[in-house]
Amino acid sequence: MSDLEVELTAPNGRKYKQPIGIFINNEFVKSKSGEKITSINPTDETEITSVYAATAEDVDIAVKAARKAFKDPSWRDIDPTERGGMMLKLASLVEEHAETLATIETWDNGKPYSVALNDDVLHEVAGCLRYYAGYADKIHGQVIDTGAAKLAYTIREPLGVCGQIIPWNYPLGMAAWKLGPALACGNTIVMKAAEQTPLSILYFATLIKQAGFPPGVVNILNGYGKDAGAAIASHLDIDKIAFTGSTATGRQIMKMASVNMKNITLETGGKSPLIVFDDADLDQAVKWSHVGIMSNQGQICTATSRVFVQEGIYDKFVEQFKERVKETSKVGDPFKEDTFQGPQVTKAQYERVLGYIESGKSEGATLAVGGEAHKDVNGKGFFINPTVFTNVKDNMKIFREEIFGPFVIITSFKTEEEAIERANDTTYGLGSAVFTQDIAKAHRVARYIEAGMVWINSSNDSDYKVPFGGVKQSGIGRELGEAGLAAYTNAKSVHVNLGTKL
């Protein structure tokens, strides 16, 4: 066996070969420094394995490979239908290897295996790649009539080398969101995975080569944000940066990317409101509210973590929500079928959530449910019981700051105007939700909510066919849907003089 892979047996018994190198030019190689990142199993706090960590030198090598591939006829001049065919092949390979990919995702990240398999790998990854494969031969410009003396037309051209930095909450899903439109448009890629979850993306990289992509088209690195991430953001031969992560890191990436005025897409933090009016279907509002904050261990950028309930049904909503948590949010081993909530991804995230619980208590909010570590999974792991606070004031930290855990605040409101004003009283503007059976009210409130997305009578019901992104400090640009393609092409205008003489 190569010294760039290790044979592992996951907690569910699945054996597989885990690559540990960095993926450049369709091959795994060691990082120049030899430095490694150790992946920790958040369920029991044991080491899984260590992988090579890229530094600026490795990033430079990867960028050179991507630039060479971008200019090479094997990619640049390929029939776009053939390019789409490679993407379809990749989607099929993801489906063939779905159980292994989901196993690694659960082991490395902590999310329930059933979610990793069905929602993330089979739906989000394979589906998103297949969706954008269909666009590969449908990206075109237009002819613009300026009169008989000129033929004017546009061409949609790929940007070039794209740096893509993905988060730890949906490692494979977010990779697909970025790879899909970039590849469909003919770009080449240098992708960095989150250092907290370095494993699944390396196994995915083996499928890139099998799908037939030329060397250098997709390069995948692990590495620390301060080293590899910064090198990607500031590299002078990278044309675009796409980043998903915290708002604070997004600001730093914007600064570094400005060195050569890179095209930039950012999907950053959120503190999304969910508004329940007194005419809502209460049972459905409770169930969707629970999904909107407690799924994926609450580690969702669009999590509807601020729930506003009209005062006439507030007490009833709170009691039903508490009961829903008790019935549904089973915390436990993510490989067990009945587990709804696994561990937080890392010790740092676990401690962050516990810190906010203490903040809520100290500021005088009422702890209604949870509020402590969950120690019933062999006494180890980064588990936190789902937590609900009520009687929360709008100036409290737990109302204003993104927590990124199974942690929700539920507050009451009197009027529609008050709900909108308080929902918008945030620096973020990613997702939002409205529950009402009054269709006019639903559309009216959706228009006034300051967010990139509004769900009416659901929450976090996203679809890769629909644009995704935020306003304010929740990001710049859009991913997914047809809109996601705009972030990966330039419009070139061509003017053909048909007879104008000077």
Active site residues: 267, 301
Query: Side chain identity at 252, as an amino acid letter?
Result: Q
Query: Side chain identity at 359, as an amino acid letter?
Result: S
Query: Side chain identity at 222, as an amino acid letter?
Result: N
4 Cβ contact list (under 8 Å, min separation 6): 19, 20, 21, 28, 29, 30
85 Cβ contact list (under 8 Å, min separation 6): 133
- What whole-number distance in Å separates Cα of residue 426 and Cα of residue 356? 18
For 358, the 3-state DSSP assignment is helix
Sequence-ordered alpha helix ranges (H) in 3-97:
56-71, 73-76, 80-96
Report the candidate in 485, 298, 489, 289 with the shortest Cα–Cα distance to residue 402: 298
Report the candidate in 40, 37, 42 with the shortest Cα–Cα distance to residue 20: 37
- What whole-number distance in Å separates Cα of residue 45 and Cα of residue 381? 6
Q: What is the DSSP letter of 468?
A: B
101 Cβ contact list (under 8 Å, min separation 6): 94, 116, 121, 125, 172, 200, 203, 204
Query: Side chain identity at 447, as an amino acid letter?
Result: R
Q: How many helices (H) and strands (E) does the chain have?
A: 17, 22
Q: How far is CA 304 from CA 38, 110, 249, 300, 433, in A?
A: 32, 21, 22, 9, 7
Q: What is the DSSP letter of 477?
A: S
Strands 188-192 and 218-221: parallel
202 Cβ contact list (under 8 Å, min separation 6): 18, 19, 20, 21, 23, 28, 51, 193, 220, 222
318: left (phi over 0), alpha (psi -120 to 50) or beta: alpha
- What whole-number distance in Å separates Cα of residue 77 and Cα of residue 80? 8
Helix (H) or strand (E) holding 172: helix 171-184
Q: How far is CA 498 from CA 87, 155, 492, in A?
A: 40, 19, 19
Report the candidate in 317, 267, 263 with the shortest Cα–Cα distance to residue 287: 317
- What whole-number distance in Å separates Cα of residue 445 and Cα of residue 19? 49
- What whole-number distance in Å separates Cα of residue 41 and Cα of residue 50? 12
| Contact (Cβ atoms closer than 8 angstroms) between residue 383 and residue 370 | no
- Order of all β-strands in the sheet with 455-456: 366-369, 387-390, 407-413, 306-310, 273-276, 433-435, 455-456
